[in-house]
Amino acid sequence: MTQTETRKTAFLERLKRGDVVVSDGATGTYLQARGLEPGGCPEELNASQPELVRRMSADYYNAGSEISLTNSFGGSKFILKKYGHGDRVRELNRLAASHARSVASRGHYVFGSVGPTGEFLEPLGAVSESEMYDSFTEQVKALEEGGADGVCIETMTALEEASLAVKAAKENTQLAVITTMTFDKGARGWFTMMGVTPERAVKHLRDVGADVVGANCGNGVEAMIELSGIMRKATDGYLIVHSNAGIPAIRKGQIVYPETPEWMAQKLIQIAEIGTNIVGGCCGTTPRHIQAFCDAIRAKEEGR
């Protein structure tokens, strides 16, 4: 058994035992607070500022995260090409995983972040299924090469695109596969931008092979409590929720996320109590948010 398979097995055993696994917080917020310019390419920092990227994973691990997502959300050829780095997919994704792996201790897991390509499939768009599949394959293979234990295919809105990413990972790597979609609540209930309901998403993504399914981004933690309940009723499989630290607002020219670590931590406990297996943060969450959540978990356990 390879090291990747061994760590994947250990990770899935954690979930099977019913443990609540703590994931990390935001990548973009962290990097922007430390110099990433608006509109800059986060993935390029894997090459030009490796210490910063390594410190990000280390800060989240030290705060209590058991999972660190790699700095590779926009690591597909479609996104990197827009920054002039379309020929660096393997390099930047491999580095992203190796940086997180270099600071991961025993019991820490590295999951390669895989975001949307920003493209639409034919006939709605100009990209064929084979082109998108090949793009995801190139990315996930590089993440595995760099030392990832799994991939987190996240912030998806179209089931077709998410399914191709899952297929690419399952057919070309030995990685565990997490897949999350982003939902908003309207007058008719919860849907992704492309009209996918949470119930349909969790069933379909499990059917195509995702080991863990769930939701991330788009909402503050109270909305995610409601969404977690809907998803848990729709499946008995493993669930993940990465919540924003509220809806951002502009204050004195700065983007501010309103949910404090202590307040958000108590709400994340409720998400875990619903039966969510992996709980962490998305936009606006910091190592302080993760630390507060871990402290809340310990306090709850000691109070039993």
Question: What does the domain layout of the chain look like in residue ranges?
Answer: 3-302
Average pLDDT of span 257-263: 95
pLDDT at 108: 97
Report the CATH number of the 3-302 domain. 3.20.20.330
Q: Which helix (H) or strand (E) holds 128?
A: none
Mean pLDDT, the chain, as a whole number?
96
Residue 247: the pLDDT is 87
Tokens of 262: 């202590």
Return the structure tokens found at 180: 């999350």
Query: Cα 76–106–99 angle (5° rounding)?
Result: 30
Residue 192 has pLDDT above 60, yes or no: yes
The proportion of the chain whose per-residue pLDDT surpasses 70, expressed as a percent, equals 99
pLDDT at position 304 is 57
Q: Which of 169, 278, 164 is nearest to 213 (CA)?
A: 278
Residue 247: helix, strand or coil by DSSP? coil
Q: Which amino acid is at 275?
A: G
Q: Confidence class of residue 179 from pLDDT cuts 50, 70 and 90?
A: very high
**pLDDT tops 80 at residue 303:** no
For 199-255, the pLDDT digits (tens) are 999 999 999 999 999 999 999 999 999 999 999 999 999 999 999 999 888 887 778
- Please tell me the distance from the alpha carbon of residue 33 to that of residue 279, in angstroms, as a whole number: 23
Based on its alpha-carbon atoms, the radius of gyration of the chain, rounded to whole angstroms, reads 18
pLDDT value of position 244: 97
Query: Which structure tokens are listed for 65?
Result: 């995260």
pLDDT digits (tens, 9 = 90+) for 141-172: 999 999 999 999 999 999 999 999 999 999 99
SS3 percent helix, strand, coil of the chain, rounded to 5, is: 45, 15, 35
CB proximity list for 161: less than 8 A, separation 6 or greater: 116, 117, 121, 132
- Supply φ then ψ for residue 295, to 5 degrees: -65, -40
Separation of alpha carbons 304 and 288, rounded Å = 25
The pLDDT of 250-265, averaged and rounded, is 89
Asked whether the beta carbons of 150 and 124 are under 8 A apart, the reply is no
Angle between helices 129-145 and 159-172 (to 10 degrees): 50
Q: What does the pLDDT average to over 26-38?
A: 95
Cα–Cα distance for residue pair 278/20, rounded to 1 Å: 6
Q: Cβ(14)–Cβ(22) under 8 Å?
A: no
